[in-house]
């Protein structure tokens, strides 16, 4: 009976939070409010302090726990994410990201088979996602560079737009915020997490989609029998007047952390790699523009991006961490872990169930950050109850969150791409459903193979 009450209470708290967020309440406010209220009730009912060094008052202990969560999240993971975001925005500001995208996709215009081109566009887009980590940003770049090419070759408008959305269907790479968070809860360095687990699973998903998408979209286009050219007003991007070397700049952090991962005695952190990228870019900008003052005036762009990251991402990590703690103390997660551990095939079932939670949550919320950061912290406890590695659940769960984002009518990338293509967002989502379900299945299977069996 006690276990039933624990699970029921846990589900009730999660349901209240989900309902409020679906009704457009601020996720940070929801997570913080519900987390603090739940933790306060728990502390007074059980008489248990949440911190090692108590303040002498249980409510103040709850606030001290929030304070410690703010400090740890900001000083560690938060600083990494703000630095990465600042660099990514600066790459867009200088035009380096656009030059990289245009250079990478230029050869595609010479191919004549529309669905082979579509497959190559998809592969190139997913690779670009390693350095252009914003799903919306990448989608808009691809709309300007590759959408007109696919349309001119005869790919259906809905299929072409869906492809521009799906190129960012995975949040992968050591520079991605949600992947960095997954590495943190798995107690691994981001590069180690990426190379050991995430890259293998992601490549399986990408290759599966590269084969499946052209076949499926060709079939759907034949069914549509609609004009591909009417109403297309997407403007082509012009190649920025920048030296060729600028195409390397967005990839500098990724290249550095990947290369030095194989060099012993040298530890290249993500922040250091991005700082090196900043230095190289500043030097090139000074040489190109011949105006040190003008280059220095770009600093507010970087700092504003870092501030936006704190407001939109780090704040969610902090508040979701408080919310996750409130879920953990209710003990329903432990009961769930014990239940899954007692099932035959409990590992694969837990992988599927936990991945479905964030997969479904992101479809409702439109934000991979809100769903992954809310439920991700629960994974270590569930994994511990089952006696398995945290990565076993974290890898498919984190990737499934990104996969589900392409099916959300309130996701920024879906709204932006469908709007530019002048199609109904629901029509585009319908076109993405089957591919993303296939991708979800591939994600679970490949995660089981590479994380559990090998």
Rounded Cα distance, 182 and 290, in Å: 42
Mean pLDDT of the chain: 87
Instruction: Write out pLDDT tens, residues 297-311.
Output: 999 999 999 998 898
Which residue has better confidence, 365 or 37?
A: 37
* pLDDT at 55 > cutoff 80: yes
Burial of 291 (0-12, 13-18, 19+ CB in 10 A): exposed
Q: Is the per-residue pLDDT at 96 higher than 70?
A: yes
Q: What is the mean pLDDT of residues 216-232?
A: 71
Contacts of 209 (CB under 8 A, 6+ apart): 122, 166, 169, 435, 438, 439
Residue 342: per-residue pLDDT: 65
Q: Cα(236)–Cα(432) distance, rounded to whole angstroms? A: 24
CA dihedral 105, 110, 113, 114 (to 10 degrees): 40
Confidence of residue 229 (pLDDT cuts 50, 70, 90): very low
247 has a pLDDT exceeding 50: yes
pLDDT at 1 over 70: no
Does the structure show a pLDDT above 70 at 226? no
- Residue range 91-100: average pLDDT? 87
**pLDDT cut 70: percent of the chain above it:** 94
Place of tokens 């992101």: 362
DSSP-H helix ranges across 23-54: 27-46
Tell me the percentage of the chain whose pLDDT exceeds 90: 41
Look at the block and give the residue holding tokens 């879920």: 327
Determine the pLDDT at residue 236: 60
Q: Is the pLDDT of residue 431 over 90?
A: yes
Least confident of 6-20, 157-171, 365-379, 431-445: 365-379
Give yes or no for residue 235 having a pLDDT over 60: no
CA 21, CA 96: separation in Å to the nearest integer? Answer: 36
Query: End-to-end distance of the chain based on CA atoms, in angstroms?
Result: 39
**What average pLDDT does the segment 213-232 reach?**
75
Question: Tokens in use for 220?
Answer: 């759907």
pLDDT in tens, 340-391: 666 656 788 889 988 998 898 888 777 777 778 888 888 898 888 888 899 9
């Amino acid at each position: 009976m006690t276990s039933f009450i624990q699970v029921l209470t846990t589900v009730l708290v999660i349901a209240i939070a989900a309902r409020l967020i679906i009704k457009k309440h601020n996720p940070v406010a929801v997570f913080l409010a519900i987390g603090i209220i739940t933790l306060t009730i728990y502390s007074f009912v059980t008489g248990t302090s949440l911190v090692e060094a108590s303040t002498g008052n249980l409510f103040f202990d709850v606030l001290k726990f929030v304070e410690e969560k703010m400090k740890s999240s900001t000083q560690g993971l938060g600083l990494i994410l703000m630095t990465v975001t600042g660099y990514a925005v600066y790459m867009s500001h200088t035009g380096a990201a656009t030059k990289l995208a245009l250079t990478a996709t230029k050869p595609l215009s010479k191919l004549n088979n529309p669905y082979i081109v579509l497959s190559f566009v998809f592969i190139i887009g997913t690779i670009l996602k390693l350095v252009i980590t914003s799903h919306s940003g990448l989608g808009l770049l691809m709309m300007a560079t590759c959408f007109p090419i696919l349309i001119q070759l005869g790919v259906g408008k809905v299929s072409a737009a869906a492809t521009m959305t799906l190129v960012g269907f995975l949040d992968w790479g050591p520079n991605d915020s949600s992947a960095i968070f997954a590495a943190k809860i798995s107690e691994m360095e981001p590069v180690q997490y990426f190379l050991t687990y995430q890259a293998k699973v992601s490549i399986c998903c990408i290759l599966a989609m590269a084969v499946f998408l052209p076949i499926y979209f060709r079939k759907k286009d034949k069914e549509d029998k609609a004009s591909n050219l009417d109403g297309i007003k997407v403007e082509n991007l012009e190649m920025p007047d920048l030296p060729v070397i600028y195409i390397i700049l967005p990839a500098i952090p990724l290249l550095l952390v990947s290369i030095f991962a194989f060099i012993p005695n040298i530890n290249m952190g993500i922040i250091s790699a991005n700082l090196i990228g900043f230095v190289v870019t500043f030097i090139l900008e000074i040489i190109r523009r011949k105006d040190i003052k003008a280059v220095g005036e770009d600093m507010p762009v970087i700092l504003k991006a870092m501030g936006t990251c704190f407001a939109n991402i780090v704040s969610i990590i902090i508040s979701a961490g408080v919310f996750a703690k409130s879920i953990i103390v209710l003990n329903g997660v432990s009961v769930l872990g014990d239940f899954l551990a007692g099932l035959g095939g409990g590992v694969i079932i837990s992988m599927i169930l936990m991945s479905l939670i964030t997969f479904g949550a992101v479809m409702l919320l439109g934000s991979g950050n809100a769903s992954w950061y809310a439920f991700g912290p629960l994974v270590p406890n569930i994994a511990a109850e089952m006696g398995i590695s945290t990565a076993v659940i974290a890898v498919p769960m984190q990737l499934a969150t990104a996969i589900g984002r392409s099916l959300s009518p309130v996701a920024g990338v879906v709204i932006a791409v469908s709007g530019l293509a002048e199609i109904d967002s629901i029509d585009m989502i319908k076109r993405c459903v089957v591919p993303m379900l296939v991708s979800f299945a591939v994600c679970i299977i490949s995660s089981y193979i590479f994380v559990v069996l090998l």
